[in-house]
Structure 1
Amino acid sequence: MPSALPIADPAPEDGALPSTVAEGAEQRELGVYLHVPYCRVRCGYCDFNTYTADEVRGVKRSDFADQAIAELDLAARVLDAAGLPPRAASTVFLGGGTPTILPPADLARMIGAVRDRFGLAPDAEVTTESNPDSIDAAGLAALADAGVTRVSFGMQSAVPHVLRTLERTHDPENVARRVAEARAAGLAVSLDLIYGTPGESPDDWEASLAAALAERPDHVSAYALIVEEGTKLARQIARGEVPPVDDDLHAAAYEAADARLTAAGYHWYEVSNWATAPEQRSRHNRAYWTGQDWWGVGPGAHSHVGGVRWWNVKHPHAYAQRVGAGVSPAAGRETLDAETRRVERVLLETRLREGLDRELLTPSGRHAVAGLLADELIEPAAAFAGRIVLTLRGRLLADAVVRRLLPD
């Protein structure tokens, strides 16, 4: 099952936020995340809050859009009562799970509810995730008509035996079909890849990179496979049924990805993300990385507004009961103090291409900069200009860099 929720303070049943969240809100963007928790099958490596049909007895998937809209009604009331100024949503992201397991009409209703409650900025980025086998040309066209501007396909690999290990069920050839159909609908396209799957060879990874680049997506995400505790894949590795993850192969795969993508005209803007141009970067994800405001709708979804963070109950049945009763689905929340917010900025902004403002570091953190330069982990010119920007070697060791910037 998905990992447990964090332990924190109770959340009020009415969802009320303190008036302090309105401070500086005019300078922050508002995003909306819509978490559709359903998948046709659960992949063995996945630790997300997702459920297959036989895991949600008593809850109908067809009711989810109404439940999400009920939470959007709550969000509008709570933000208004806290004194936040009206802000049109600058980004909307339908994630999961597999959002496109729902009918396009349901997704359109959810997007329409965001538009009705908050408005959509004229240049709003509206993204949906999709598996290549969970949508077709008509569905993509319908989503484009509903306001979707961008689709992120879970390609993961182009190699059948790697997909089998990951328990991905789509036909690799469907990726090309879906990309062409998304283009015909006027949508920007992102492809998600995973490297380091047990049994994946360097040639396998090169084949997946070549297949992805052949489609000329606007954006590529490439993530190292993380074996999460409690997943089926973790149990398979523990039993010796599949080989463990090899960190050296991870590093080589990342270097291969960066080299191939850079040569093809893509530019990294976050450690795991590349885009053909600045306007093709994921604005919604950037909102997470830079501490903007977002309301997360759905089971297990996380939200952040003005330094207050909360998360919803995880199971779809519990979620349905709470929104049906007109109370907040939040399971817990925390108010971030200034030091926590500083630490989180260091953790996240160090991973960005524009880097981290050196002024966010403590004296001991600034003292570490010379060593990072000597180890060729950060860019010298940027450091002399007051910013911490990772080199390629630094991106491979990003977590270690952060640990040195945040000494005990």
Structure 2
Amino acid sequence: MPPFGPHYGFGLYVHWPYCARICPYCDFNVYAAKDRETGPLVEAILQDIQAHKARLHDHPPLTSIFLGGGTPSLLTVQDLEAIIQTATDQFGLEPNGEITLEANPNDVLRSNPGDWQKAGINRVSLGLQSLDDAALTFLGRDHDVTNALRAVEAVQAVFDNHSLDLIYARPGQAISDWQSELSQVLALGAPHLSLYELTIEERTAFGKRAARGELIPMQDDDQADLYELTQTLCEAAELPAYEVSNHARAPEYESRHNHIYWANGDWIGVGPGAHGRLTIDETRYATEAARRPTDYIAATSPTNTALPTLDAARELLAMGLRPATGLDLTRLSRLGYEQPDQSLLTDLEENGIITQAGSSIALTAQGRLLADAVAKQLAASMDL
């Protein structure tokens, strides 16, 4: 059995590329939603799901469905229901399977979360991004704090399983300001938080401003201070980190869909620009759909590329280190690679970066701060 594949989880990711407003930090495949005829794109997504069934007839029922974007909360209830029904008709869904909708606060207030639940959604990931009006303006969001809090209340009235997403380590953000803001968020009582440090990507509006010297990203040491504060406050609120950027009150609130990525399971990617990883006859394939909606509608068949063993091993190492459960290194051995040098593992353990338990290693809280660097060290020691 390969060290990747649907036995580590099998998900469906649906990318809805339209947004009411494109945020200046966003590096995803997104487009302005104004005056768009969305029916042909929804139909193409349904056909894409059906076409995947013919290739994956031996795959088990889906573990999860994740509707992301872009802004999938712009979809009508009827479209959401059609996508979910098509997926479950084709593949089935595990008992208590997770179906997540990413939502913006203003869409929550314009919609009825109860209707989302009736359509099949059982988890909502709400993109608050901040509880500071000036920060929301800086981040290009189309909601304010008042509407954010109203949206949280509306979601919590329907969905026990929900997540709040925030962005911190913004330029000039004081540690005291983040402490106050995160404390407010924790007081809302959500069972899951996704807390991301702001990343300035070259292709984004922020990236262009940074290149002109108009925006100065936060220094690494200052980001590290905020990250450590985040861990302390979340631990005290009984929302420990179960992954580098994700916190949950209990295992049942952890994102089952994201666990598929970290475990190197299989997932179908549908919608413009969506990526997937599929295992067929023990070969790992990378899939990518056409990026432009018009191109996707014209030809929904994705590009399929057999993933070289080296790339599969690198993904396995980088992703497998992210969750607190860590990575069983024998999975890399099954791809033909030697174990990392034991002296390196011992050194990392003695410096409080990892823990070891048999053939498995896991990052400590300090190690999660250095996740990418640790993965590079281990890869170098294994000639990856």
- Report the TM-score, using the length of structure 1 for normalisation: 0.86
Q: Deviations over 1:323-381 (max 9, x none)?
A: 4xxxx1x1x332124443232211111111111224347345433112212322113xx
Q: Give distance in 2, aligned partners of 1:390 and 1:246.
A: 23
1:125-161 deviations in Å (ceiling 9; x for gaps): 0000011111238521111011111000111111122
Give the match for residue 73 of structure 1. 50
Instruction: Identify which of 4, 13, 20 aligns with 1:40.
Output: 20
Which residue, 282, 285, 294 being the options, matches 1:308? 285
Instruction: Point out the more displaced range, 339-348 or 110-119.
Output: 339-348
Amino acid at match of 1:353: A
Asked if 1 retains the 8 angstrom alpha-carbon contact of 2:329 and 2:339, the reply is no
Measure the CA separation in 2 of the matches of 1:95 and 1:176: 22
- The yes-or-no answer on 1:393 pairing with 2:366 is yes
In structure 2, the partner of 1:163 is 136
Deviation at 1:25, TM superposition (A): 6.4
Q: Distance between the aligned counterparts of 1:141 and 1:303, measured in 2?
A: 30
> What is residue 406 of structure 1 aligned with on the other side?
379
Give 1:9-88 correspondences, 5 Å limit: 27-53=7-33, 60-80=37-57, 84-85=58-59, 87-88=60-61
**Residue of structure 1 equivalent to 2:312:** 341
Q: 1:49 Cα shift?
A: 0.6
Question: For residue 179 of structure 1, what is the aligned residue in structure 2?
Answer: 152
Q: Of the candidates 226, 242, 245, which is equivalent to residue 253 of structure 1?
A: 226
Q: Find the partner of 1:370 among 341, 346, 355.
A: 346
Give the match for residue 218 of structure 1.
191
Q: Would you say the 8 A contact 1:65–1:107 is kept in 2? A: no
Equivalent residue, structure 1, for 2:66: 93
Q: Distance in 2 between matches of 1:107 and 1:52?
A: 20
Amino acid at match of 2:305: E
* Structure-1 separation of matches of 2:230 and 2:117: 30
Aligned to 2:93: 120
1:268, distance to aligned residue in structure 2 (A): 1.3
Given the alignment of the two structures, is residue 207 of structure 1 paired with residue 184 of structure 2, yes or no?
no
C-alpha deviation, 1:53, in angstroms: 3.0
Match of 1:352 among 309, 323, 328: 323
Residue identity matched to 2:342: R
Q: Distance in 1 between matches of 2:4 and 2:169?
A: 42
1:172-227 CA-to-partner distances (Å, cap 9, x unmatched) read 22232222222222341101111111132222212321221121111011111111
AA in 2 matched with 1:349: G
Q: In 1, distance between residues paired with 2:90 and 2:324?
A: 34
1:389 match: secondary structure: strand
- Partners of 1:172 and 1:374 lie apart in 2 by 44
Structure 1 stretches lacking a partner, 5+ long: 1-19
Q: Distance in 1 between matches of 2:359 and 2:99?
A: 34
Asked if residue 283 in structure 1 is aligned to residue 256 in structure 2, the reply is yes
Letter in 2 for 1:74: A
8 A contact 1:165–1:198 mirrored in 2: no
d(CA) in 1 for partners of 2:239, 2:87? 32
**Does structure 1 retain, via aligned residues, the 8 Å contact 2:108–2:155?**
no
Q: Is the alpha carbon distance of 1:104 and 1:26 closer, same or farther for their aligned partners in structure 2, counting shifts above 3 Å?
A: closer
Query: How many angstroms apart in 2 are the aligned matches of 1:90 and 1:154?
Result: 23
Q: Distance in 2 between matches of 1:222 and 1:364?
A: 31
Distance in 2 (CA, whole Å) between partners of 1:62 and 1:314 is: 17
The AA in structure 2 aligned to 1:343 is R
Does the 8 Å contact 2:132/2:145 carry over to 1? yes
Query: 134-143 or 103-112: which moved more?
Result: 134-143
Distance in 2 between residues matched to 1:376 and 1:145, nearest whole Å? 47
Q: Residues 334, 205 of structure 1: CA spacing in aligned structure 2 closer, same or farther, 3 A cutoff? A: same
Contact 1:354–1:389 (CA<8 Å) still a contact in 2? yes
- Summarize deviations over 1:64-96 as a string: whole Å, max 9, x none: 32221111121122223xxx25x2212000000
Quote the Cα distance in structure 2 between the aligned partners of 1:241 and 1:211: 30
User: Contact 2:72/2:103 (CA < 8 Å) preserved in 1?
Assistant: yes
Q: Is the 8 A contact 1:191 1:221 kept in 2?
A: yes
Q: Distance in 2 between matches of 1:317 and 1:281?
A: 35
Letter paired with 1:333: N
State the alpha-carbon separation in 2 of the partners of residues 198 and 161 from structure 1. 12
Q: Assess if the C-alpha contact under 8 Å between 2:129 and 2:166 holds in 1.
A: yes
The one-letter amino acid of 2:16's match is V
Decide whether the 8 Å contact of 1:89 with 1:118 is kept in 2: yes
Distance 2:291 2:370 in 1: 33
Question: What corresponds to 1:7 in structure 2?
Answer: none
C-alpha displacement of 1:24? 9.0
CA 1:61 to 1:350, structure 2 compared with 1: closer, same or farther past 3 Å?
same
Instruction: Give me the identity figure in percent.
Output: 36
Q: Give the Å deviation of 1:261.
A: 0.6
SS at match of 1:388: strand
Q: What does 1:188-203 correspond to in 2, within 5 Å?
A: 188-203=161-176
